[in-house]
Amino acid sequence: MGRYVIRRLLQAIPVLLGTTFLIFAIVYALPGDPLQALAGEKRVDPVFAAALREQFHLNDPLIVRYGYYVRDILSGNFGTTFRGLPVSTIFEGKFQVTFQLAITALIFEAIIGIGLGLWAALRRGKWEDKGILAVTLLMVSIPTLVSGFVLQLVLGVQLKRNTGIDFFPVAGIQDGLRSYLLPGFVLAMLSIAYLTRLTRTSLMETLRADYVRTAIAKGMPRRRVLGRHALRNSLIPLVTYLGADLGTLMGGAVITETIFNLPGIGQQLFQSVYLRENSVVVGIVTVLVLIYIVANLVVDLLYAVLDPRIRYE
């Protein structure tokens, strides 16, 4: 297993190079001069622009610029933005905010998604199953912005005004973990829908499997069958989804972060793409891809734990 992990981590190097180069190339190819974006709507001063072009190697071909970037990264330097802020300053605190948000969402997702899926599978075809399906459909078709805003209004504003209960902050991160509850749930909603359906299907597939039927036929208590065999074997697609979703939640939290005014990486990524701040975009994506790689690796290792027949190759 140790060798497997090392091999996987070594494989991360080409992935990192690939991703950063891809992002670099995309931002390079995007229409819009980054220095013009810097100046907003007025024309950028030519003298100033020339100096910046020199400083940021903007006149060099793509591959050369990428080379400079890799060199900087290897010396632990994320670079500076066109507006002169060090990229590391921009990252300060933001990854932490988004990571907490994503983890909160992931916990909601796992508990609610798997819980609802389990319930639906066990009550298959009954009204509970249908009700859960309806809730899932709502979560997919009502946009985050609406559900987020409504929850903010009801739990953040109305609850406080009408009952004096000031438990859910409207916005900001000043209330510690409490600040993340509402946004975490809002961010998790779409994923809850996926996970609920996935759990339901996965569990039903397993319940139909021969060994489960055998176990039941042998007279093993159903609760034990469920816990020991069925659930455990159904978990593989679920942890796969959860693992892969962590990165998606971190990179895609822009709307939730906006509604709840959380100073996170989702907003930053968005703004940096808008401003064509290559160094910030590539920096964020580099961290995101690392999270993907590690999360996927952990999931792959879990396969063998969940199903002993699976071996590392």
Partner 1 sequence: MSNDTLPSTAPVQPAKPVKESKPASLWSDAWYDLRRNPVFIIGGAMLVLLIAISAFPGLFDTVGVDAKTCSLAQARKGITSEHWFGTDNLGCDVYSRVIWGARVSIIVGFVSAIVTAIIGGALGLLGGFYGRWVDVLLSRIAEIFFAVPSILGALLILAVIGRDNAGIGTVVLALSLLAWPMILRIMRAAVITAKAQDYVVAARALGAGPGRIMIRHILPNAVAPVIVVSTINLGAFIAAEAALSFLGVGIQSPQISWGLMIADARNRFLEAPLPLLFPALFLSLTILSVVMLGDAVRDALDPKLR
Partner 2 sequence: MRVTKGAQIVAGTALLALAVAACGGGGSSSGTGSSSSAAGNAGAVRVEIAEPQHDLIPGNTTETSGAEVLNALFVGLVDYDADKKPYNRVAESIESTDSTTWTIKLKDGYKWHNGEPVTAQNFVDSWNFTANGANAQEGNYFFGSIKGYDDLNPGEGKTPTATTLSGLKVVDDKTFTVELKNPFSGFPTMLGYTAFYPLPKAAFESEGKLKADFGGNPIGNGPFKISKPWKRGTDQTISLVRDDNFKEGKAKVDAVDFKIYTDLSTAFNDLRAGNLDIMDQLPPEGIATAKNEFGDRYIEQPSSGIGYIGFPTKNGADYAKNADVRKAISMAIDRKTITETVFSGTRVPADDFISPVVSGYRQGACGEACTYDPAKAKALFDQAGGAKMGTIEIGYNADGGHKEWIEAVANNLRTNLGVEVTPKPVEKFAAILEDLGNKKWSGAFRMAWIMDYPSPENYLRPQFGSGGSSNYSGFASKEFDDLVTQGDAAKTLDEGIKFYQQADDLVLKEMPYIPVYFYQTNGAYSQHVKNVKIDPFERIDLFNVEKA
Residues at the contact surface with partner 2, assessed by CB under 8 A: 31-32, 36-37, 39-48, 51, 83, 85, 89-90, 92-94, 97, 143, 145, 149, 152-153, 156-157, 160-161, 166, 169-175, 254-255, 257-264, 267-268, 270-275
By CB under 8 A, tell whether 3 contacts partner 1.
no
Residue with Cβ nearer partner 2 (22 or 85): 85
Distance CA 199, CA 238 (A): 7
Which residue in this structure is represented by tokens 């042998």? 218
Distance, CA of 250 to chain centre: 3
Residue with Cβ nearer partner 2 (77 or 258): 258
By CB under 8 A, tell whether 307 contacts partner 1.
yes
Query: Of 43-51, 101-109, 136-144, 174-182, which part binds partner 1 (CB under 8 A)?
Result: 136-144
By CB under 8 A, tell whether 242 contacts partner 1.
no
By CB under 8 A, tell whether 160 contacts partner 1.
no
By CB under 8 A, tell whether 11 contacts partner 1.
yes
Length of the chain in terms of residues written: 313
In the complex, the smallest distance separating the C-beta of residue 180 from partner 1, rounded to whole angstroms, is 22
Locate 275 and state its tokens. 């401003």
- Let me know: does 258 contact 169? Beta carbons within 8 Å: no
Q: Three-class SS of residue 304?
A: helix
- Please spell the DSSP secondary structure of 215-262, one letter per residue: HHHTT--HHHIIIIIIIHHHHHHHHHHHHHHHHHHHHT-HHHHHHTT-
Contacted by 166, from partner 2, partner 1, none: CB < 5 to 8 Å by type: partner 2
Locate 79 and state its tokens. 């670079």
By CB under 8 A, tell whether 101 contacts partner 1.
no
Contacted by 268, from partner 1, partner 2, none: CB < 5 to 8 Å by type: partner 2
Distance CA 197, CA 120 (A): 9
In the complex, the smallest distance separating the C-beta of residue 42 from partner 2, rounded to whole angstroms, is 6
